[in-house]
Structure 1
């Protein structure tokens, strides 16, 4: 194993997995730096979970190669398994046991003796804010508490690589924030995290790099900031005072900014994605505001900001529905941004 290989937690080349006639993973290339949070975004059925299961040695690929810390996931599966842990979309702990009993049991299964298993369980319960609920059956935990316990179980032996497959699905905002804090703490101790999620703000807050997967292909990859910049210099948001003048305002803005105008469900709101440089976008936006004032159209709110990750996602994947049964593979080419 070379030093270059160990600098990457994950490296895949042309990774393929088929189920019947469906190519769930269709030539995925990834290079995940060690010691980071790497986000994988994609709609339902995009191939995210299938790719994670291959990397965790739970599925064999039908083509291509995948390495984890330089070890091949097929030929050196045991080496990979000793270095990784996986937390799936649903809690895997036993609901009839208490939180403490779950962690002690799993600690014994991964090789700890009784006393060290209890000590490790106590430490994790305290770290994850679950000490007060340690002797309560998991069936009586909230969704956020179950998710925290599930992640705690995943790091009984601190893994070099932790797969988090949509870890905050269904959680309330406070519980999501607690899970985010846990992810940051895990990475601070040196663990690499591969995070799959449909929550774009989650990837934006946690990931240093993001891959967008659609129909089994990586269609874009880069830092959150670079991905946002790739679809335009900024987004103009306008709120009018008079909804009756929205059509007129749309025409003026489209002409001034040379871009289509999105009429939102709010009858006084308009959104325009601006292309070009940041400075050019600001100048065009200023002229557009002046044109509205000249026409006597009163604007209650006007802002120019960087595109959101939501807008990046929609621009790259489109608004079409995705089913788990998977649609034919997209012809979109991968876009890589530094």
Structure 2
């Protein structure tokens, strides 16, 4: 055992490079570049896009990106481990269908129906996590399968009908403002900020988070250093399922409609935002402040282009191009650094 653990302990960590000064580790990072780009795009839009600086722009921007912000939190941890969860939007649809069915058809109270929907999300995440962590199946294949399975269950519960019979106080809750009328901050930001603090602590300030990075760098080495790889992956998929179910409840109440096809395709937007925020698709690298900035950046670009009259296709082209460039940036910067290092040595 000692011979197996020695190489893992002597191998220097590559996230982040602690050999550099603190200011360099903070400022000269991809995450800070995304934040800087967000500020540039935001202030440019305020000065040049008609009505972007209106009182309702930020309000509806937050309402639109809220489900992506929520799901991006656990998705970041999942991708840092080198895995992926493509079933998150289907879990949203299933929780939406369960909320409508249990409340309108079975007569359950809204709190009990919402709790059951979140527990269903926990179960969906546990199925994904068990198949990935303990059976050893690739997460891409597993979650593609459960994407279809959970969506099929959601559409099987409701078929083609939509349930809109929800109490007004529940239906209005997501769109209520935190500080009253005239402010730009909807109530959904409160649970998001609570979850953000929790996930920031988990990933960046706890031994659990260090284990997440270790798994992403090398799961076998992480096992030898004492990380329970299987349990960590299971917990991450459970978190992903629970938060996705909560996002499904928000989606249902905001639009006042429970449908089996709610949030179709949203998983691609979540993954795009996470990768744009600096998380490596190969695992081992990423930070939540970059992910949050990436989500807001996509929301600002979409909002500004809609106000300018651009179609959805053109908006998708711009965001897709930005994502490709951001993914290409990391290996390009690494290549430049290697070339520069060789020239300095020569």
Q: Which of structures 1 and 2 has the larger relative contact order (alpha carbons within 8 angstroms, sep 6+)? A: 2
Larger Rg: 1
Judging by fraction of residues, say which structure has more helix: 2
TM-score, structure 2 normalization: 0.25
Judging by fraction of residues, say which structure has more strand: 1
TM-score, structure 1 normalization: 0.26
